[in-house]
Amino acid sequence: MRIVVLTGGIGGARFLVGVRAYAREVGAEVTAVVNVGDDLLLHGLKVCPDLDSVMYTLGGGADPERGWGRVGESWTVKQELAAYGAQPTWFGLGDKDIATHLVRTTMVNAGYPLHAVTEALADRWQPGVRLLPATDDRLETHVVVELDGGQRAIHFQEWWVRHRGDVPTHRFVFVGAETARPAPGVAEAIAGADVVLVAPSNPVVSIAPVLAVPGLREAVADGPAPVVGVSPIIGGAPVRGMADRCLAVLGVECSAAGVGRLYGGRPAGGLLDGWLVAEEDAGSVVPEVTVRAAPLRMTDEAATAAMVRAALELT
Ligand code: GDP
Ligand code: CA
């Protein structure tokens, strides 16, 4: 059995721990297609927050409390940069984490495409899942906001980390999406999948930029494999993060049904065959989609693997 998972960072990473557990049980192969819209250059380093969240989490090196970055991290470089007044100061890179970005940046500068760099980094972490960036090309999520008395587009990370999404926001733009191509292996994985799972990631800034890569949405929506999504919204609120703010920008109701309708049913030109919602949201209706309820809190590996099983039972 071959499982493809469309995913963002922390929420998707936790979900993948359960997918991997399920896959080990049944002998399945897992490919994760990971959002790159959050990627940015910081102090000359190429940082891929979602790829790193997935890699560190599956590799057992993530900080479980903070949710992002490395466990047992130190911040000497950050303090030294601050002492120089180096900008930006609102995005912290830990010392251990910086080693990852140094290796990645060196390889990218030497001409290696991102999927090859990702494979090389994963060689250390042995995530047990094939990690593919959605694209090797530049695709950055920018946010059009009202700031300093005018309309400006800022990088998603500036909106998210610096402003906590708390600034009048008009829309999200996936810069570079028109000319991006799916990374090698992505279209093949989707075409060869027995099922495609949409992780309970942020639909607006994690999953949408993956689907914005030309050909990728079509590969999933018109592909042979059933598509099942898992709701990141439980009882009208995100479990963590600011999906509610992102959904509000799109004018989408922050509910399991709202996100399900945003993805849409495949027969109606959307993405989903099945939509797994939390027990609190049982009775949610998404036209042309089979909706089922199950416990959706990813408290540990076993609970998350049970979620994955419930999602697969929807196919
Ligand atoms: P990011 O890229 O690091 O922001 O992470 P993702 O986009 O992959 O995941 C963020 C989403 O995960 C948020 O919208 C949360 O609501 C969702 N999430 C986090 N923990 C859980 C959980 O235990 N259950 C469910 N269903 N969703 C969760
Ligand atoms: Ca992210």
Residue with tokens 């050909």: 215
CA distance 243 to 9: 13
Quick one: which atom of ligand 1 is closest to the CA of 278? 26
234 lines ligand 1 (CB under 6 A): yes
CA–CA separation, 274 and 256 (whole Å): 13
pLDDT in tens, 146-178: 999 999 999 999 999 999 999 999 999 999 999
SS3 category, 167 = coil
Which pLDDT score is estimated for 65? 87
Overall average pLDDT of the 222-232 stretch = 97
Judge contact between 37 and 29, C-beta under 8 A: no
**For a pLDDT cut of 70, what percent of the chain falls above it?**
100
Give the range among 70-74, 238-242, 282-286, 287-291 with minimum mean pLDDT. 238-242
The answer to whether the beta carbons of residues 8 and 49 sit under 8 Å apart is: no
- Report residue 59 as tokens: 């590799």
260 ligand 1 Cβ < 6 A: no
Per-residue tokens: 22 = 């399920």
Take residue 253 and report the two structure tokens written for it: 């109701």
The predicted structure's pLDDT at residue 135: 98
User: Could you tell me if residue 236 is left (phi over 0), alpha (psi between -120 and 50 degrees) or otherwise beta?
Assistant: left
Q: CB-based contacts of 288: which residues, under 8 Å, 6+ apart? A: 264, 265, 266, 267, 268, 270
Q: What is the mean pLDDT of residues 81-86?
A: 96
Q: State if residue 304 touches ligand 1 by the CB under 6 angstroms criterion.
A: no
pLDDT at 298: 97
Ligand 1 contacts CB of residue 10 (under 6 A): yes
Integer CA distances (angstroms), 173 to 126, 183, 208, 219, in order: 33, 20, 10, 22
Q: Is 69 helix (H, G, I), strand (E, B) or coil?
A: coil
Question: How does DSSP assign 243-311, residue by residue?
Answer: HHHHHHHHT--SSHHHHHHHH-BGGGTSSBSEEEEEGGGTT---TTSEEEEE-----SHHHHHHHHHHH
Q: Which atom of ligand 1 is nearest to the CA of 14?
A: 20
Q: Which residues pair with 151 in a beta bridge?
A: 146
- 140, pLDDT greater than 90: yes
pLDDT band for position 35 (50/70/90)? very high
Average pLDDT value over all residues in the chain: 97
Q: How far apart are CA 120 and CA 67, in angstroms?
A: 23
Partner residues linked to 230 by β-bridges? 276
Question: Burial of 232 by CB count in 10 Å (0-12 exposed, 13-18 middle, 19+ buried)?
Answer: buried
Indicate the pTM of the whole model. 0.97
> Exposed, middle or buried by CB within 10 Å (0-12, 13-18, 19+), for 135?
buried
Closest-CA residue, ligand 1 atom 24, reads 297
Taking the C-alpha atoms of residue 200 and residue 304, their distance in angstroms, rounded to an integer, is: 11
Mean pLDDT score, 28-40: 98
Return the beta strands (E) in 135-218 as ranges: 140-147, 150-155, 169-175, 195-198
Choose one of 159, 239, 275, 297 to mutate for the ligand 1 pocket test, by most ligand atoms within 8 angstroms of C-beta. 239
How far is the centre of ligand 2, averaged over its atoms, from the C-alpha of 9 (Å)?
A: 5
Q: Residue 292 in contact with residue 228, Cβ under 8 Å?
A: no
Q: How confident is the model at residue 66 (pLDDT cuts 50, 70, 90)?
A: confident
Cβ of 298 closer than 6 Å to ligand 1, yes or no, is: yes
Q: How far is the CA of 206 from the centre of ligand 2 (A)?
A: 6
Question: Could you say which ligand is closest to the alpha carbon of residue 7?
Answer: 1
> Which ligand 1 atom lies nearest to the CA of residue 230?
26
Q: Give yes or no for residue 20 having a pLDDT over 90.
A: yes
Q: Which residues pair with 173 in a beta bridge?
A: 142
pLDDT of residue 67: 82
Q: Whose CA is nearest to atom 21 of ligand 1?
A: 239
**Is residue 118 within 6 Å of ligand 1 at its C-beta?**
no
Judge whether 212 and 139 are in contact, CB under 8 Å.
yes
Within 13 Å, how many C-alpha atoms sit on residue 56's CB side? 26
Tell me the pLDDT band of 60, cut-offs 50, 70 and 90: very high
Q: Report cis status (omega within 30 of 0) of the bond before 88.
A: yes
